[in-house]
Chains A and B, each alone.
Chain A
Amino acid sequence: MKNEKADKITVALAGNPNSGKTTLFNALTKMRQTVGNWPGVTIEKKEGIYHKNKNVTIVDLPGIYSLTPYSLEEKIARDFLMQNKCDVIINIIDSTNLERSLYLTTQLMETGIKTVIALNMSDETEAKGIKIDKKRVEALTGCKAVQISALKNKNIDLLLDTAVKEAQAQSQKDNKRISFDNKVEDAVQKIMSMLNADRFKAIKVFERDFIYWETIPQAKTGAINNLIASLEKEYNENSNEIIVNQRYKFLESNLPSLLIKKNTATKTLSEKIDKIVTNKYLAFPIFAVVIWLMYFISIQTLGGLAQKGMETLLERLVEAARAALIKNNVADWLTGLTVDGIITGVGAVLTFLPQIILLFFFISFLEGCGYMARVAYIMDRLLRRIGLSGKSFIPMIVGCGCSVPAIMSARTVENNDERRLTIMLTPFIPCSAKLPVFALMVGAFFPDNPFVAPSMYLLGIIMVIIGGLILKKLKIFKTHSDTFMLELPQYRLPTAKNILLDLWEKSKAFLIKAGTIIFLASIILWALQNFNWRFQMVEAEYSLIATIGKLLEPIFIPLGFGDWRAAVALISGIAAKETVVSSLSILLASQGNLNAALGTIFNGPSAYAFMAFVLLSSPCIAALSVTRKEMGSVKWLLITIAFQMLTAYLVSFILYTLGSLFLFNKWIILIPMISAAVGIIVYAIIKNQGRPKGEK
């Protein structure tokens, strides 16, 4: 081993989903990767440097239950471990879930990669009256073990020192291995000598793991197959089951000796909470109230009050800046650019910061407490109707924050068609960037209605279901999985520190976006609004942007906002959805008070239709590029955009038409009739889909 190479050490964090790998990673690297309390938060490999020694690289991996992957993100973790890219593995064990965690350890033991065990959440187990005997764990696994609490920063430096020492040790330590029944052991030994393979590979071949099976020379497959088949017959189990059973039997017989005190079974707090939030009658009302509170408090009450203050502040700032610039004889165009372009555009978005912080607070709490997995559980039956599973709902809640991580987290959906469908539908759930648009419109047209803002979320969910049904009818997606298996984690009260750090991180990202994308977009928009295509400064009516906007104007007449400024605002939303707000502010700046100016373009129904269009139309460029990447082809990206645009247009049209009927013609009677008709059609489709297979 060369010296310079010997200095650098790569430590991989491996363990079950939701065992605290990312919490440990953040503590070791002082980075801030997203953490949450549900299985499958981490869907990518993340690298960081140990903050106390820059020669140590820490790699955070998605959670795995075994070394045979089940979904995309698990494959990432397995591949990394199997390609020997790390010097040492820190195997994180959820101490409250010792048996299943050690099941993965029994497999890591066979890989020959140096491993150190981190007994995480040791404080939680102790509170429950369970103590794990560290020495016995070490004796059983042959790996050094350290009791830590990643959340409370307990013993994590000791853990890393132990891992580094292990990596630097010259001798290749022969890890302890669990031994199987004699017959199985014989078979494994035979495969080892037939293939000249190590024990790990021989066991994988025995289990008929596809990846390893493929590497066997053709001439030997027959003999090995016969060997395995004879044992399968004898055990009356498939070979994979034989191995898994024996691993668990090994753990079952050794587990009692690892625990010093055993707890007595009592009803846990989690069970009590679950009795209520997954109750037959209460589950859906509780979910509805949670979502309603989240949007009502963020957009209206608290958030609305704070935003009013910010707005007044911005108006004063605009006046003061204009006065100061005029007083100093700054050129007209520069004053215009600074005040009517940059300050108005960026400021318009910044005034919504309080509302966005509140929304982030609710999301952060929801993600951290463990409720997400429950929502997936109660939603599964509904989502199955449209060819999805409850797991698809997790990206949709992540999507309340931002569509980019939401689209990526669809990786935890195992079936490929289901994953694509989830990616197409997830942007219907309003992301935090759409919140300023809703807040602007609600503030201007429905200030006293507590249901308009939350109704956007409801509309999002309804369109997920209707959109899913339509795509199912169109038979774009051929397969769907018939299973849903999800671990429901224990509830945890998110720590104040974690929530605050999360809020800081997300607010910072929002401010950076305001200072870069929205700043640039404001300048461009101001320029396009003040020049014609010969670069002469002109009135807005004759500007470059008006020419483009007026071309598009007719498209939006049926939706009630056939105005070039609304069209331009929607197009600018491609950069970032907040830009819709800054564009409207810039384009209407000459008309004084923004709320009053909005009244010249929109009325109640068209404002609502506009909100719906922003909600359902294709997300921003960042989300679209992730869609392209996760879908794997441009073709799928185009299908997605076409689907989203068409949906947005149709729904906005229907809402505007219904709203106008209600407002102007008082033909109120039509609304329940049409809703009933739509309801009956949707019900008929659902009913039809619900039939068992084989029935026509």
Chain B
Amino acid sequence: MKTLLDLEYNKAAVIKDVGVKDATKRRLLDLGLTKGASVVLKGKAPLGDPILIGLRGFDLALRKSDAAKILVEG
């Protein structure tokens, strides 16, 4: 299955599973990164990490290590 890291720029995808744990998971959920939410990859930091995603109308930066645990479809 694809993760957030496999996304192509500006192509919408749907969150299938948020595989991170504990406080990080709670925070991502609170920010609206829930199952079924639509996301797009918007950019990468100059050193390749973190990445920038568009979510529910705002931009969120998160590290690749977390993004790799978030499964998407589409």
Task: List residues of A whose CB falls within 8 A of some B CB.
Answer: 65-66, 68, 70, 96-100, 103, 237, 240-241, 244-245, 248-249, 252, 270-271, 274-275, 278-281, 283-284, 373, 376-378, 380-382, 390, 414, 482-488
Contact = CB atoms under 8 A, between A and B. Distances in A.
23 contacts: A65-B27, A70-B26, A70-B27, A98-B57, A100-B56, A237-B35, A278-B43, A284-B46, A377-B45, A377-B50, A378-B45, A378-B46, A378-B47, A381-B48, A381-B49, A390-B61, A482-B63, A484-B62, A485-B28, A485-B60, A487-B58, A488-B58, A488-B59
B63 A483 contact: yes
A377 B29 contact: no
Given A70-B27, A97-B57, A97-B58, A484 B34 contact: no
Contacts of A414: 23
Contacts of A378: 45-47
Contacts of A382: 47
A99 B57 contact: yes
Interface of B: 18, 20, 23-32, 34-37, 42-50, 52, 56-63, 65-66
A631 B22 CA distance: 25
A279 B46 contact: yes
Contacts of B29: 240-241, 244-245
Given A240-B26, A274-B43, A483-B24, A380 B56 contact: no
A86 to B, nearest CB: 22
Going nearest first, the 10 A-B pairs with the smallest beta carbon separation are A381-B47, A283-B46, A244-B29, A66-B30, A488-B59, A65-B30, A377-B61, A483-B24, A486-B61, A99-B56
A513 B62 CA distance: 41
Contacts of B58: 97, 100, 487-488
B32 A100 contact: yes
A156 to B, nearest CB: 24
Contacts of A70: 23, 26-27, 30
A98 B58 CA distance: 10
Nearest to A64: B30
A70 B48 CA distance: 26
Given A99-B57, A103-B30, A380 B65 contact: no
A487 B31 CA distance: 9
Nearest to B56: A99
A143 B59 CA distance: 28
Contacts of A274: 42-43, 52, 59
A276 to B, nearest CB: 11
Contacts of A237: 35
A137 B18 CA distance: 30
Contact of B31 (A100, A278, A279, A377): A100
Contacts of B34: 241, 244-245, 248
A356 B27 CA distance: 39
Given A380-B49, A381-B45, A68 B30 contact: yes
Contacts of A390: 50, 61
Contacts of A271: 42
Contacts of B49: 380-381
A212 B31 CA distance: 22
A656 B60 CA distance: 45
A244 B46 contact: no
A414 B22 CA distance: 13
A103 B32 CA distance: 8
A373 B34 CA distance: 24
B45 A278 contact: yes
A382 B43 CA distance: 18
Contacts of A100: 31-32, 56-58
A485 B61 contact: yes
A248 B31 contact: no
Nearest to A274: B43
Contact of B52 (A240, A249, A279, A377): A377
